[in-house]
Structure formats: structure tokens, C-alpha cells
């Protein structure tokens, strides 16, 4: 049965993230690199909600991002979907995601997600892998996202609500075996 409150919360998170990406992130570039909070929240969704919901949230965030930026529509959607799914799948068997682990996961996943976006963009005729700033972008995005994960992962957990643990343990025998406080943000 659909938890409509959860849908409302995730919708609010997606809209707020989009506004943040449009309004705030471009104003404060670090070394000329704009923070990719859309990717960050996609990863946070994977951490907090597991592979299935993470993939869905990643898809919508990526699609909204694609609508805002030049270039082919659907590339971010594909890259963020796969990144969120991979993160969710990786953590599905982990009972407790502590802050340090979450930050590390966000750092690595941000690097891989950015590279995946760059690779997919290149395949669709964009000049991304050849950009002289590629590695600067990859590392700075990963660094900013790692810092912001302190906020983003708890937001993902809030949006997921009581279902957070159940979602993550979807492939395990049951949520009850995990106990409370599984996402020790």
C-alpha cells in the first residue's frame, strides 16, 4: 500500500532540491565547480530508501536536472538512477549506516555518478570526458557532496519516514530483524 505521506515528503524534497540547485548552488562555485545537489540527494535516497526507491528518486531528480541544463534530455536521469540504485544495493545488507560511512559512500558514489554522467554525455555527442576540468569537477563535486551528506542523508531518512529501514532491507528476510535505528545518521 502506498504511503502517501512519504510520497508527499519525497516530492517536497525533490522540489526543494531543484530550487536549491537552480538558485543557490550556482551562486557559490568552489574552484569554478557548481555543487551537484541533485546527485547528492539521489545518493541520499539510495542510502535511506534502498535501491528501488532510490532509483525512482534518482530518475526524477536527474530528469528535472536535464530539463534545466543544455544537452540531451535523459542523461542525468539515467546516470542518477543507476548511481542511486548501486548505492542502495550496496548498502542493503548493511544494518547501520553511520555518518562516516554515509559520507564515504557519498564521496565515492558522487565521483562515480559524475563520471557516469560524463561518459554517457560523451556517448551522446557532448564534450564532457574531454573537458580539461573533468577531474577537478569530479573531485570537487564529491568533496562538496561529502560535506553536505551530513544534512542530505538525514533528510532522506526523514522523507522515507518509518519505511526507511524496511525499504533498505527489502531483499532481506524482514524489517523486524534489523531492529530500530538502523540508519544511524
* Number of residues counted as binding other proteins (CB under 8 A): 62
Tell me how far apart the alpha carbons of residues 165 and 50 are, in angstroms, rounded to a whole number: 8
Considering only residues 66-95, where is the footprint of other proteins by CB under 8 A? 66-75, 77-78, 81-82, 85, 88-89
Which one, 62 or 156, has the nearer CB to other proteins? 62
Cell numbers describing residue 64: 528535472
User: Contact at 8 Å (CB) between 145 and 36?
Assistant: yes
- Radius of gyration over alpha carbons of the chain, in Å? 16
| C-beta neighbour count of 150 within 10 angstroms | 13
User: Contact at 8 Å (CB) between 13 and 122?
Assistant: no
Per-residue interface string for the shown chain with other proteins, residues 156-185, x marking contact by CB under 8 A? --------------xxxxx-----------
Binding site for other proteins (CB under 8 A): 19, 21-29, 32-34, 36, 50-52, 55-56, 58-59, 62-75, 77-78, 81-82, 85, 88-89, 117-118, 121, 124-128, 130-133, 137, 140-141, 170-174
Amino acid at each position: 500500500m502506498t504511503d502517501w505521506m512519504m510520497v508527499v515528503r519525497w516530492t517536497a524534497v525533490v522540489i526543494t532540491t531543484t530550487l536549491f540547485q537552480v538558485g543557490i548552488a550556482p551562486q557559490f562555485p568552489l574552484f569554478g565547480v557548481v555543487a551537484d545537489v541533485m546527485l547528492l540527494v539521489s545518493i541520499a535516497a539510495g542510502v535511506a530508501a534502498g535501491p528501488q526507491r532510490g532509483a525512482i528518486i534518482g530518475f526524477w531528480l536527474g530528469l528535472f536536472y536535464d530539463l534545466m541544463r543544455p544537452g540531451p534530455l535523459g542523461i542525468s536521469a539515467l546516470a542518477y538512477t543507476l548511481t542511486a540504485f548501486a548505492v542502495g544495493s550496496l548498502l542493503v545488507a548493511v544494518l547501520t549506516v553511520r555518518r562516516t560511512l554515509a559520507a564515504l559512500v557519498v564521496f565515492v558514489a558522487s565521483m562515480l555518478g559524475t563520471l557516469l554522467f560524463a561518459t554517457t554525455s560523451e556517448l551522446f555527442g557532448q564534450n564532457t570526458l574531454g573537458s580539461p576540468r573533468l577531474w577537478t569537477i569530479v573531485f570537487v563535486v564529491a568533496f562538496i557532496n561529502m560535506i553536505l551528506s551530513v544534512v542530505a542523508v538525514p533528510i532522506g531518512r526523514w522523507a522515507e519516514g518509518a519505511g526507511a529501514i524496511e525499504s533498505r532491507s527489502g531483499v532481506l528476510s524482514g524489517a523486524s530483524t534489523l531492529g530500530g535505528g538502523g540508519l544511524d545518521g
